[in-house]
Structure 1
Amino acid sequence: MNSSNFGPRPLFDEGQVRRALELIGEHEPIGRKKLAEKLGIGEGSMRTILNRLKEKGLITSTARGHVLTDKGDRELGERSRKFLEIDVGDLTVGKVSVATMVKDAIEKVRRGIEQRDEAIKVGAQGATTLVYRDEDLELLCSETQLDKEIKSELLEFFQPSENDIIVIGTADSKKYAERGALAAAESLSD
C-alpha cells in the first residue's frame, strides 16, 4: 500500500491534545491563535486538535473563543495537570525545566528511564523522575540528595501525597520541556 494515501503525519501528539483541553479549561474562552501559541504548534494543527475535541463533545466554540462543555469539565476532572517552570541547576541537561505531578503512580515507575525515553520521543532532551515517599521528595534510583530550595519549591507548588511522582521535562525551550514533562507523566497515567 502506498503511504501517500494516508496523508501527512500530524505535527502534534495525544499529550498536546490533552494539554489543549486543559488550557481551554484554564483560560476559557480562548481563541485558536492563543492556544496554538501556548502549545507551540501551527494553526493548522490547532484546528485539527480543536475539531477532534469538538467531535468528542468536549468543547464548543463561541464568538469569544473555545470553552469546555459539561462533558469536557468531567473529562478533565482530577487529571488536570499543573506545570511549574523551575530552575533545577545541574539536575537536568536542558536550559529549561518544567515539572508536573502524577498522583499515586509509584507502582508504575521502574527506573525512570522509561519516562526519560517518552520525553525524548516528543522532542525534549530528557526527563527526571522524583518520588514522594516517607514524607520526603527524592530522586528515583539515586543516592544524590535533591537541593533543599528546589525540593521546597516543588513541595510547596505540588503538595504531593505519599507515592506521588513528579517528573521534570528538560529542553532548550519551555515548549519542549513542557512536552517532555507531559509525555513522561502520561506514560504513568495509563
Structure 2
Amino acid sequence: MALSAISLGARAKLHELLARSFLSSSASRKMFSSSTSNGNLVAVCQVTSTSDKAANFETCSALIHKAQERGAKVVFLPEAVDFIAEKKAQAYELAEPLDGTIVTKYKELAKKLGVWLSLGSVHVKDPSEPSSRIYNTHVIINSTGDTVGTYSKVHLFDVDVGTVRSRESDYTIAGSMIPTPVATPAGKVGLGIC
C-alpha cells in the first residue's frame, strides 16, 4: 500500500513519530523510539561496535542519556554491544565475566538514569571454563541496576555447505536454557540472540 493511501491523520502521526524519534544521522549510532500500549516510551539504539570497549560504551552511554532525556523507560541495545573482535583470539581476550567492568558500568548507568537496559548481547568469559570459548549473552538490567534476566545463546550457527564451513561452536559455548520473559515497564521481554 502506498503512503498516499493511508489517512492524513495516520500519516501525520507517523511523520511526528519519525521526526521526533530519529536522534542521529550518524552511520555508527542511531536511536528510534516508540510508545508501548501502556504509554511507556522505549528506545531502540543501533551502534557499530569495534574492538574498543571504552569507545563502544561511551557511544552507547550517550544514546542511553538521550533516550532517558526523551522519556524512555526501556532502552534496547544491539548484539555485541560490548565489542566486535577482529580475530577469535581477541574475542576471548576482551571477554569478561558477567560481573565484569562493562556490564557493571551499564548497571551503574541504569541505576543513575532510572532506566531499564536490554544489552542485546555481551561476550561473557567463564573463568571455570577451560577452553578459549565464550558465551554470547543477552542481559536485562532494571532501573535499580540489578540484572533481572540473562540468556546465553542456545542454538549456535554451525553449517557446512560444500566448501563453506561456519562453526559458531568453535568459539562460543552454547547456553543450556531458555528463560521465561522478563516483565519490564514496556511489557514482557523475551530474551534471544540471532
With normalisation by structure 1, the TM-score equals 0.26
Q: Name the one with the larger strand percent.
A: 2
Q: Name the one with the larger helix percent.
A: 1
Of the two structures, which has the highest relative contact order with CA contacts closer than 8 Å and spacing of 6 or more? 1
Which protein has the larger Cα radius of gyration, Structure 1 or Structure 2? Answer: 2
With normalisation by structure 2, the TM-score equals 0.26
